[in-house]
A and B are shown apart, each in its own frame.
Chain A
Amino acid sequence: MSNAINESIIKVRNVKTIFDDRIVHNGLNLDVKKGEIYGLLGPSGCGKTTLLKEMVMLQNYHGGNIDILGYNLSSVDENDAQALRRQWGVLFQAGALFSSLSLADNIALGLIEYSDLSQKMIDEIVAFKINLVGLKQEDKRLFPSQISGGMKKKAALARALSLDPKLLFLDEPTSGLDPISAREFDTLILKLRELLGLSIVMVSHDLRSIYDTLDRIAVIDNKKIIYEGNLKDIKNDKSEFIQTFFRANV
């Protein structure tokens, strides 16, 4: 849709998160625009993954508001939540493929549950998605315990894409991959964004991946967003984490 290039599809407003007696987030604000690849960065334990989990309704937050694709997560009812869940795909850090199902069945699951497509059509969609993420057709009958970490990530990505989501959440997509696979994965993500017009939110620590794929970035440190914007200006930021992270890694 051409009219909405600057439309925010995720709005995080003043979000607070408290675990027991520890404050994790104290008033986070960020905006993810349509069609961009948006990164979340920060030191270990700063709550990047927690924020991602809050966005996909796996975790409650304790103040503020998150708005995704026009749904307000604080007041969304179960029907809307279910509709929303079909519009996004989530890629977990270790893939989280269902270990009792083959790769093809993992990818087909959403299609079988939510659509009335014929088996032939589903097979065809699965074959296409497998091809799209760069897996081989003969791999699809394998089970998750039989494949490598890189293949697991690709298969999990194919599963996340099975219902043609408009929005994709990636939790450390390149962690645990060798550098070559990691770069391949970056290329794949860029390619998918271009081909399918996805908006992508990802948590990443991989500097190469950050520079190669991200359009904009938010850095969380000390319970707040300390930087939000593009990568060009980030080195001018004076905060300690950004200085160490970007200087040490350039």
Chain B
Amino acid sequence: MNSTSLEITKNATTLSLNFFGEFNLYVVSSYEQKIKASNYEKYQHIDINLDKLYYLDTAAAIFLNNFLKKLKKNNINYSINCEKTELLDTLKLVQKYHVNLDNIEKPQHNFLYKIGNEFHKRFVDFMIFIAFLGKLFSTKLFVIKNIKNIRIKEIFFEVNENAIKAIGIIALTSFLIGLVVAYQSAYQLKLYGANIFIVDMIGISMLRELAPILTAIIIAGRSGSAFTAQIGAMKITEELDAMRTMGFDPYLFLVIPKILALMITMPVLIFIADIMGVLAGMIVANIELGITPEMFLSRFSEVVDIKHFYIGIFKGPFFAFLIATIGIYRGLVVKNDTQSIGFNTTRSVVESIFAVIICDALFSIAFTNLGI
């Protein structure tokens, strides 16, 4: 087979383009430059020699066709030498299915349209969220009324998946955070000789704020994202639609069990986080500040009010509700494409952590004002 190339020969009035080998989309660009560089517009006649060409693909044929049209427009004569009918057929095919791109205008939108469109999208999103909450509420009422219909098996499945399997990571994280907080404050407290206050410090911060927030963040990252991905994937594979047609309400079978399971188990997880955080504080106090566990515990029951523990636990179900509803809502609004799952999973985690922190801030203000 001869090698692929384009040779251009010139004489006074005629320019000859001799194509060799294979004219395909990988060489179109270089040929285009070569032809442009030859100043073909100055010639009266152009010879296009395809005799030595054995293959012409459609991209190259489109290029050739455009070139011929340009010649016609500039009133330059041309002739095509080609004996192979396949090549001419390809050229004819391209002419037959040619699309004039100039006639297809792209939709142009002005600024006002874009703002309006964006606002409308947000508004619709918001309404969908309200509709979701409404549906959730009515399903909850239904569950309360028909307590027999509650899906015990599903709830325990979710408890196992989202809480029992998360105990390890929550315990470990809480222990490490307790260790870090205690270690950092031990150094500062030592400077003032206020060693024993580490008990107040660890006790109150862990029970009241750190353990609930920490647990919520881990659960949001772990279960919130899983809810979104699972429900989103079920939506794409039409499993949700299948459930509906078979009379299984997805809210009853998927949504409520997940929310209830998290709401039930979150206080337990926070309790575990409390224990591990305080345990870490106790260890640091013993090693760094010489406070024995007995001393630590007696001081603990003296200064750390039981209300701090209750407040921490009390936040659990609220955080759990936020995480579960946002995760599920994000799953339900997944559109019919794969990118949407990734997008909504990210949003789910970010939004639920944000919601948890906002909720915590509100609780903080409320409890302080109530004097608790």
Contact = CB atoms under 8 A, between A and B. Distances in A.
Contacts, number: 75
A207 interface: no
Given A118-B32, A121-B63, A195-B90, 19 more contacts: A1-B54, A99-B337, A100-B338, A111-B25, A111-B59, A115-B59, A116-B29, A117-B28, A121-B29, A125-B25, A125-B58, A128-B58, A128-B99, A131-B97, A131-B98, A145-B337, A163-B25, A164-B25, A164-B59
A128 B90 CA distance: 12
Contacts of B336: 99, 145
A164 B335 CA distance: 33
B101 A127 contact: yes
A6 interface: no
A105 to B, nearest CB: 13
A124 B101 contact: yes
B86 interface: yes
Interface string B88-120: 011001100111010010000000000000000
26 contacts: A1-B54, A99-B337, A100-B338, A111-B25, A115-B25, A115-B29, A117-B29, A118-B32, A121-B29, A121-B59, A121-B62, A121-B63, A124-B62, A124-B101, A125-B25, A128-B99, A129-B58, A130-B99, A131-B98, A137-B99, A138-B104, A144-B337, A145-B336, A164-B25, A195-B89, A196-B90
Contacts of A132: 97
A192 to B, nearest CB: 10
B16 interface: no
Nearest to B55: A1
B44 interface: no
B85 to A, nearest CB: 11
A19 interface: no
A47 B86 CA distance: 37
Contacts of B337: 99-100, 143-145
Given A127-B99, A195-B93, A164 B62 contact: no
A118 B59 CA distance: 12
Contacts of B74: none
B66 interface: yes
A115 B99 CA distance: 21
Contacts of B90: 195-196
B25 A117 contact: yes
Nearest to B106: A141
Contacts of A145: 335-337
B192 interface: no
A123 interface: yes
A113 to B, nearest CB: 12
Interface string A169-196: 0000000000000000000000000011
A107 to B, nearest CB: 12
Contacts of A118: 29, 32
Interface of A: 1, 99-100, 111, 114-118, 121, 123-125, 127-132, 137-138, 143-145, 163-164, 195-197
Chain A contact surface mostly: helix
Contacts of A125: 25, 58-59, 62
A128 B335 contact: no
Contacts of B58: 125, 128-129, 164, 196
Nearest to A133: B97
Chain B contact surface mostly: helix
B57 interface: yes
Contacts of B364: none
A196 B58 CA distance: 8
Contacts of A164: 24-25, 57-59
Size class of the B contact interface (CB-based, 8 Å): 20 to 34
A79 to B, nearest CB: 15
Q: Lowest 3 A-B CB distances belong to which pairs? A: A99-B337, A145-B336, A164-B57
B275 to A, nearest CB: 46
A111 B98 CA distance: 18
Nearest to A131: B97
B339 A99 contact: yes
Contact of A137 (B62, B89, B104, B335): B104
B25 A128 contact: no
Nearest to B100: A127
A99 B336 CA distance: 8
B218 to A, nearest CB: 30
Contacts of A114: 26
Given A100-B339, A117-B29, A163-B25, A128 B94 contact: yes
A244 B251 CA distance: 46
Most buried by A among B25, B94, B101: B25
Interface string B16-31: 0000000011101110
Interface in B12-64: 24-26, 28-30, 32, 54, 57-59, 62-63
A124 B97 contact: no
Nearest to B86: A197
Contacts of A129: 58
A196 B90 CA distance: 7
Nearest to B342: A100
Nearest to A120: B101
Contacts of B94: 128
Most buried by A among B29, B59, B62: B59
A1 B56 CA distance: 12
B62 A128 contact: yes
